[in-house]
């Protein structure tokens, strides 16, 4: 693994916009000198490194599924701040194995040892368009003889074709709260993969999803029955909404309700309990840092690196935010590796239950947040 430099393609911004990354200018806070998509640099891996990462990601995913089973079997829903009224619905969703589509592991990796799990974005992961599409075309344009860890698109299409969903169209829901366009473009891309798999689809705003109290079902603005629906609206938000009590019991939602067990950072502590000392895990506890001298405090339901606190013998660093009402997990802290002053975090994609590809974001800070840039990668052919 190494960081390499290159010359951006002429008109690179128009190229990536034509490929779906229309939100790259809005994805960053104002005032940053570095673009969100940065193809002046990229990471180079060997095939052996990628094969090792792929195996580790699939093992981590299996461990997470076993951890979810443990939570259901032992009734540890309170550790995940799941409302009492929704507990049995989460349990039934897991026991039914309601169909799931994809997720993204965030990993610490420097090429010299096993990857370390930072968190699992299992409910509403983004940076999908740049991972599945944009960096693939960058590779074809700039390094056509090399390869890339990237079968995301093909696996998504195959997964949609294999999923047992109710008859009728699958709705794809965005929310008016999306100010950057990232969610809309991510949904449009996923809708396209579903259509390539032969599914009929309908786009709908989450705010326009209605509840028919008489017939006990959800419908859209044209009064079509919503039998299955993909959303990038987190389950914890849905459980806090009045209609959440209907959502947990009616319709097929993707991602399914049981994903609340994998998208919650309490999962990190459960994994450490079940697999203490595992080479791909960092110590993590729900009741405090215990004997950790360097650790990071993460809100159970935090997003975009907000409301976190890094504590080391040299001091503490906090990020702003309003998360944390539900509680925190304390995870052992190992700084992201540094390459030319930048710190990459590897986003490893899982489609269904198989590792599918890689996206990399990097920043100069200790915590990867909305100021990070996405950079492509390639596998060097020997």
What is the tens place of the pLDDT at every residue in 44-59? Answer: 999 999 999 999 999 9
pTM of the model: 0.95
Q: What are phi and psi of 65, to 5 degrees?
A: -65, -40
Average pLDDT over every residue of 214-224: 91
Long-range contacts of 79-84, Cβ-Cβ distance < 8 Å, separation of 24 or more:
79/266, 79/269, 79/270, 79/286, 80/260, 80/261, 80/264, 80/266, 80/267, 80/300, 81/236, 81/264, 81/266, 81/300, 81/301, 81/326, 81/327, 82/239, 82/260, 83/239
Name the one residue in this structure whose structure tokens are 């008859």.
167
State whether residue 273 is helix, strand or coil: helix
% of residues, the chain, pLDDT over 90: 83
Average pLDDT over every residue of 8-18: 96
Is 31 a residue whose pLDDT tops 90?
no
Least confident interval from 8-12, 176-180, 259-263? 176-180
% of residues, the chain, pLDDT over 70: 98
Q: What is the mean pLDDT of the chain?
A: 94
Confidence at residue 365, expressed as pLDDT on a 0 to 100 scale: 82
- Closest listed residue to residue 162, CA positions, set 100, 113, 116: 100
> CA-CA distance, 312 to 292, in Å (whole number)?
9
Supply the DSSP symbol for 206.
Answer: G
Peptide bond preceding 311 in cis form (omega within 30 of 0): no
Tens of pLDDT along 317-364?
A: 888 888 888 999 999 999 999 999 999 999 999 999 999 999 999 998
Average pLDDT over every residue of 280-297: 97
Is 25 a residue whose pLDDT tops 90?
no
Confidence at residue 344, expressed as pLDDT on a 0 to 100 scale: 97
165 CB neighbour count, 10 Å cutoff: 16
Confidence at residue 24, expressed as pLDDT on a 0 to 100 scale: 85
146 CB neighbour count, 10 Å cutoff: 15
Confidence at residue 304, expressed as pLDDT on a 0 to 100 scale: 80
Is 27 a residue whose pLDDT tops 70?
no
Tens of pLDDT along 107-133?
A: 999 999 899 999 999 999 989 999 999
> CA-CA distance, 35 to 27, in Å (whole number)?
9
Tens of pLDDT along 81-101?
A: 999 999 999 999 999 999 999
Average pLDDT over every residue of 178-206: 93
> CA-CA distance, 238 to 149, in Å (whole number)?
34
pLDDT tier, 178 (very low <50, low <70, confident <90, very high otherwise): confident
Confidence at residue 165, expressed as pLDDT on a 0 to 100 scale: 96
Average pLDDT over every residue of 193-198: 98
Is 29 a residue whose pLDDT tops 90?
no
Q: Where are the domains of the chain?
A: 2-264+337-379, 283-332
Angle between helices 47-74 and 87-96 (to 10 degrees): 130
Tokens for 334? Answer: 């190992």
Average pLDDT over every residue of 286-299: 96
pLDDT tier, 176 (very low <50, low <70, confident <90, very high otherwise): confident
């Amino acid at each position: 693994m190494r960081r390499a430099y290159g010359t951006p393609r002429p008109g690179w911004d128009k190229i990536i916009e034509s490929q779906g990354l229309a939100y790259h200018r809005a994805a960053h806070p104002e005032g940053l000198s570095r673009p969100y998509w940065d193809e002046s640099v990229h990471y180079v891996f060997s095939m052996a490194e990628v094969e090792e990462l792929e195996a580790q990601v699939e093992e981590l995913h299996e461990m997470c599924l076993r951890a979810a089973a443990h939570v259901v079997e032992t009734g540890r829903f309170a550790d995940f701040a799941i409302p009492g009224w929704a507990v049995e619905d989460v349990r039934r969703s897991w026991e039914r194995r309601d169909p799931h589509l994809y997720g993204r592991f965030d990993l610490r990796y420097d090429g010299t040892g096993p990857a370390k799990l930072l968190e699992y974005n299992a409910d509403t992961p983004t940076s999908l368009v740049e991972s599945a599409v944009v960096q693939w075309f960058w590779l074809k344009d700039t390094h056509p003889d090399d390869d890339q860890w990237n079968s995301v698109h093909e696996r998504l299409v195959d997964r949609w074709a294999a999923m047992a969903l109710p008859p009728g169209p699958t709705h794809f829901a965005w929310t008016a709260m999306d100010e950057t366009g990232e969610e809309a473009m991510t949904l449009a891309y996923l809708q396209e993969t579903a259509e390539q798999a032969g599914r009929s689809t309908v786009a709908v705003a989450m705010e326009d999803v209605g509840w028919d109290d008489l017939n006990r079902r959800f419908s859209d603005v044209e009064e079509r029955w919503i039998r299955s629906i993909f959303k990038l609206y987190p389950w914890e938000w849905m459980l806090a909404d009045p209609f959440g009590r209907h959502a947990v019991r009616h319709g097929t939602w993707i991602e399914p309700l049981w994903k609340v067990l994998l998208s919650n950072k309490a999962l990190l502590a459960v994994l450490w309990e079940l697999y203490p000392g595992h080479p791909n895990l960092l110590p993590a506890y729900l009741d405090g840092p215990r004997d950790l001298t360097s650790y990071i405090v993460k809100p159970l339901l935090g997003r975009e690196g907000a409301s976190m606190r890094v504590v080391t013998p040299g001091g503490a660093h906090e990020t702003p935010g309003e998360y944390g009402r539900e509680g925190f997990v304390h995870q052992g802290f190992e700084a992201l590796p540094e390459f030319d002053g930048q710190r990459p975090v590897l986003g490893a994609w899982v489609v269904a239950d198989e590792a599918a590809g890689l996206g990399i974001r990097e920043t100069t800070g200790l915590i990867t947040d909305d100021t990070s840039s996405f950079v492509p990668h390639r596998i060097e052919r020997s």
